[in-house]
Amino acid sequence: MTISATTQGLRPGVTTSSNRPATPFEGQMIYETDTDKTLVYSGSAWLYSSTPQTTEQGAWTSFTPTFKFGSTAAATSSTYGFYTVINKLLILQAGFVASGAQAAGSLNFTLPNSFSISEGRDYQRLGQLYAYDASPPTQYVGIPYVNGSDGAVLYAFSQSGSGTALSNTAPFTFAVNDELDLHLTVRIP
């Protein structure tokens, strides 16, 4: 049996962003050739992959990560952050290079773009953490956890028998050129 695109399956209207239908109906679907987006009319607006849960698969979004020690922003000479969402799976990498001594307190990190995590319990393991002490050169590997009470701020714990919180002095005293890299793969609501 031969499948014909003109007789089987959904086929959205093909147009450009400047030539969208003047009087669309709720549920109407179009494909814009100039933006490479598929849109659906909600009854009041055209909806497409600009919302976090429907980000185009494989598309990476850069963001400026927010790292804090206690309530004070981390002292950094550089930061990086990027993420993608595939269905409701958030894949994220972020990190920084320290520019000096850090304020006292445990490390926390706020997710980009108002994401929240729905893992169902406090301190759910979410990925991998890498810390590098530049002097003397020493590497540490740990596990980031989510704070289940707010679903947004991550608390990173070093890999130790006691689960010591990663802080300005643990597993080492953060100073110039020390690094932190965070890798997450987690479900979002």
| Shared domain check, 77 and 28 | no
CB 74 within 8 A of CB 64: no
Query: Count of domains in the chain?
Result: 2
Q: Is residue 54 assigned to a domain?
A: no
Phi-psi region of 70 (alpha: psi -120 to 50; beta: other; left: phi over 0): left
C-alpha separations of 59 from 50, 64, 132 in Å:
11, 17, 29
Both 163 and 141 in one domain: the answer is yes
Give just the sign of the alpha carbon dihedral 145, 148, 150, 152: positive
**Residue range(s) defining the domain that contains residue 20:** 13-48
The model carries a pTM of 0.65
What tens-digit pLDDT sequence spans the chain (189 residues)? 444 555 555 567 888 888 888 898 888 888 888 877 888 888 888 876 444 434 455 678 899 988 999 889 999 999 999 998 887 788 899 999 999 999 998 888 877 877 777 655 555 667 888 999 999 999 988 877 766 555 455 666 655 445 567 889 988 899 999 999 999 888 777
Residues 100, 139, single domain; the answer is yes
Query: Could you tell me if 93 and 31 lie in one domain?
Result: no
- What confidence score (pLDDT) does residue 50 get? 44
Same domain, 34 and 72: no
**Burial group, residue 92, by CB count within 10 angstroms (0-12, 13-18, 19+):** buried
Condensed to tens digits (0 to 9), the pLDDT of residues 87-128 reads 778 889 999 999 999 999 888 887 787 777 765 555 566 788
